[in-house]
Amino acid sequence: MKKIGITLKDVNAVYSGPEGKLWEMIMGEQIHVGGFASSMSLAQKAGIREGQKVLDLCSALGAGLRFLVKNFKVQGFGLDGTEYMVKTAKERALRDGMSGAIEFKLGDVTNIPWSDSAFDVVWGEDAWCYVVDKERLISESERVLEKNGTIAFTDWIEGPKGLNDADAERINTFMKFPYMESQKGYESLLKKHGFEIKVSEDLTPEFADYIEFYIGMLTKQLTFDALRIIGWDMNLMQAMGGEMGFMLQKAREGCFGRTRIVAVKK
């Protein structure tokens, strides 16, 4: 898939500003599709166990790790490239009484600042779509995982029916993605770097339902709140609605989707 000129600076601007607040308002602190239920499904399929060391790449507000600490009693480690997210994640871990169980670092997920074989699990939820060099992320994940360690993630992807370049560029530009990988593309990268695929699921049909749900929230309940966040700019609100409607259309067509993958380092 063709890449566009989205940089980490652009992503930082999103999640340090109004757009980030808007996504959190409609999706909650976890800021990923499906919230608690999606996290639980991923954790169960990955076989998360008490005491494991789990590294969340693109850890955002830290809700994924707080979920794992609370429900599975893991040792949590988070890495994110957005200063606002890391600062806020530390504050919220403290708020929830979990600061001693989670360590957050500001850094590059394609150059992970931990040693080889340091973790039992690498974790990600709907965030690697923001990473320019996804192969490097996968290879670094392999490096920091111990033998038989698990990589478990969900992500927004090019759907099974594919996107033409114009439609992909439209979605990527709106969402600030450099590009989206496909499910098969992720499988290939994982196999190339020594992983055995255990779970690989196409979540596109339910993904479309969630997009429709988010549109409904913005248009039927949270319009006032959203306008306040974006400075009462009705033109921007309408433009955003149009882009989300386009994403819904492409998701319904099977061109734009989401995947859940679990793999083990051989």
Q: Who has greater pLDDT, 9 or 24?
A: 24
Does residue 85 contact residue 105 with C-beta atoms inside 8 Å? no
Q: What pLDDT score was predicted for residue 123?
A: 98
In angstroms, the CA 173 to CA 170 distance is 5
Residues in the chain: 266
Residue 11 CA to chain centroid, in angstroms?
12
Of 201, 197, 199, 200, the closest CA to residue 264 belongs to 197
In percent, how much of the chain has pLDDT > 70? 97
- Dig out the tokens for 230 from the structure: 């974006």
DSSP per residue, 66-118 = HHHHHHH-PEEEEEES-HHHHHHHHHHHHHTT-GGGEEEEE--TTS-SS-TT-
Q: Who has greater pLDDT, 235 or 14?
A: 235
- pTM equals 0.94
Average pLDDT over residues 130-137: 96
Sign of the alpha-carbon torsion through 54, 58, 62, 67: negative
pLDDT tens digits, one per residue of 201-219: 999 999 999 999 999 999 9
What is the CATH code for 8-265?
Answer: 3.40.50.150
Q: Who has greater pLDDT, 12 or 112?
A: 112
pLDDT tens digits, one per residue of 32-65: 999 999 999 999 999 999 999 999 999 999 999 9
Q: What pLDDT score was predicted for residue 1?
A: 58
Q: What pLDDT score was predicted for residue 2?
A: 58
Average pLDDT over residues 4-20: 74
pLDDT mean across residues, the chain? 95
Q: What pLDDT score was predicted for residue 3?
A: 74
Instruction: With H, G, I as helix, E, B as strand and everything else as coil, classify residue 226.
Output: helix
* End-to-end CA gap in the chain: 28
Between β-strands 75-80 and 53-57, what pairing exists: parallel, antiparallel or unpaired?
A: parallel
Q: What pLDDT score was predicted for residue 17?
A: 80
Domain ranges of the chain: 8-265
In angstroms, the CA 45 to CA 183 distance is 17
Average pLDDT over residues 172-193: 96
262 pLDDT above the threshold of 90: yes
